[in-house]
Amino acid sequence: MKLFDVYPLNDITIEKASGSYVWDDNGVQYLDMYGGHAVISIGHTHPHWVNRIEQQLHKIAFYSNSVRIPLQQQLADLLEEMSGKKGYQLFLVNSGAEANENALKLASFHTGRKKIVSFTKAFHGRTSLAVAVTDNPKIVAPVNETGNVIFLPFNDEEALKECFAGQGNEIAAVIIEGIQGVGGIHEASPSMLKLIRSLCDEYGALYIADSVQCGYGRSGQFFAHDIAGVNADIYSMAKGMGNGFPIGGILIAPHIQPKHGMLGTTFGGNHLACAAALAVLEVMKRDNLVEKAKQRGMYLRNMLAKVEGVTEIRGRGLMIGFEVEENLKDLRKILLNDFYIFTGEAKPNVIRLLPAMTIQRKQMDEFLEALHEAIVQMQESTII
């Protein structure tokens, strides 16, 4: 049977990992500045994370949500403490797309409405409703074209006001990333997020804060949306939540009360997933990683500004995007093949950096030096 290559980066096979490094099957070491699509939050194979999962394996790996799973409540309690979202309910799922799917469905249930406001360059997942609110024609199949999604320019406050003035009573929710990931590391402005909160309150719609990539401390705040100082009605989470173990969830504000049977999942919140997620939060709390992500991100952005060939730099914390003058594809290939460094990308010419929050200055300097040398190498080859 032929295997479908989802993201055929190279012929590299990764077989081992630790901290901010991974090793291929030939023993070659790579610096991971991409964190496996922003998934690795506390470092690959963190000892506490490994121990938590290993201990749980000796007890029970899975049983369905037809029984009480105390680990879920432990996770909810620690998540409330770390995020500061008091009184919210936690519903656990398996991925970011599933989290957004349930958030959108819940908003429609709660309001009795069909229309959703999303934004240009948004990416919310690859399941049906998540695809419908994603601004990417490559992944929108005919079945995903619901006709109920309104796409507005990102950060365009006037367009949002006009939309609500004309259709506010039909809108179930506004969904927005605090920092767009796939869209190129563009930040939602605090004033835009405050306006969403105000208009949703005025017209009875819900504010969905997609925090799948920009959440869980990566931005230097627990949720990137927190910069606006207002609370969303629903927060969606995944990626860094399990440090590589599949888990996602939504936080549901107290005034929203899902009815029994409205939300359900087979594997969501299973014992192993909760053990992994608890380990992540425990390490984040113990090592003050949210604040460290903020400080390490400031250092990395300041140093990037000194690299010739780097133009615009965007993002917060350890969710950074920067544009380059050189050909993006070729530059990333040089970083990977010559300097053994993984990076991400966003079209048309943005390199995405999403390393673990445990990354050290030595490793950031290793990347910065390699980036400088790679750009010089490309410039010299162009002159020749």
Residue 260 confidence (pLDDT): 87
The residues of the chain that CATH labels 3.90.1150.10 are 14-46+289-383
Residue 296 confidence (pLDDT): 98
The per-residue pLDDT of the chain, averaged, comes to 95
What percentage of the chain exceeds 90 in pLDDT? 89
CA distance 180 to 319: 10
Hey, what CATH topology would domain 14-46+289-383 get? Aspartate Aminotransferase, domain 1 (3.90.1150)
Residue 236 confidence (pLDDT): 98
User: For the chain, what is the HEC assignment?
Assistant: CCCCCCCCCCCCCEEEEEECEEEECCCCEEEECCHHHHCCCCCECCHHHHHHHHHHHCCCCCCCCCCCCHHHHHHHHHHHHHHCCCCCEEEEECCHHHHHHHHHHHHHHHHCCCEEEEECCCCCCCCHHHHHCCCCHHHCCHHHCCCCEEEECCCCHHHHHHHHHHHHHHEEEEEEECEECCCCCEECCHHHHHHHHHHHHHHCCEEEEECCCCECCCCCCCEHHHHHCCCCCEEEECHHHCCCCCCEEEEECCCCCCCCCCCCCCCCCCHHHHHHHHHHHHHHHHCCHHHHHHHHHHHHHHHHCCCCCEEEEEEECCEEEEEECCCHHHHHHHHHHCCCEECEEECCCEEEECCCCCCCHHHHHHHHHHHHHHHHHHHHHHHC
Q: What mean pLDDT do residues 118-125 have? A: 98
Q: Is the pLDDT of residue 272 over 70?
A: yes
Write the pLDDT tens digit of every residue in 140-159. Answer: 999 888 899 999 999 999 99
Q: What mean pLDDT do residues 217-228 have? A: 98
If pLDDT is split at 50, 70 and 90, which confidence band does 348 have? confident
Q: Is the pLDDT of residue 129 over 90?
A: yes
Q: Is the pLDDT of residue 4 over 90?
A: no
Residue 384 confidence (pLDDT): 53
Hey, what CATH topology would domain 47-286 get? Aspartate Aminotransferase; domain 2 (3.40.640)
Q: Is the pLDDT of residue 8 over 70?
A: no
The residues of the chain that CATH labels 3.40.640.10 are 47-286
Write the pLDDT tens digit of every residue in 22-55. Answer: 999 999 999 999 999 999 999 999 999 999 999 9
Which of 4-8, 141-145, 204-208, 373-377 has the highest mean predicted lDDT (pLDDT)? Answer: 204-208
If pLDDT is split at 50, 70 and 90, which confidence band does 347 have? confident
If pLDDT is split at 50, 70 and 90, which confidence band does 326 have? confident
Q: Is the pLDDT of residue 383 over 70?
A: no
Residue 317 confidence (pLDDT): 98
Residue 291 confidence (pLDDT): 98
Residue 7 confidence (pLDDT): 66
Residue 9 confidence (pLDDT): 58
If pLDDT is split at 50, 70 and 90, which confidence band does 62 have? very high
Residue 358 confidence (pLDDT): 98
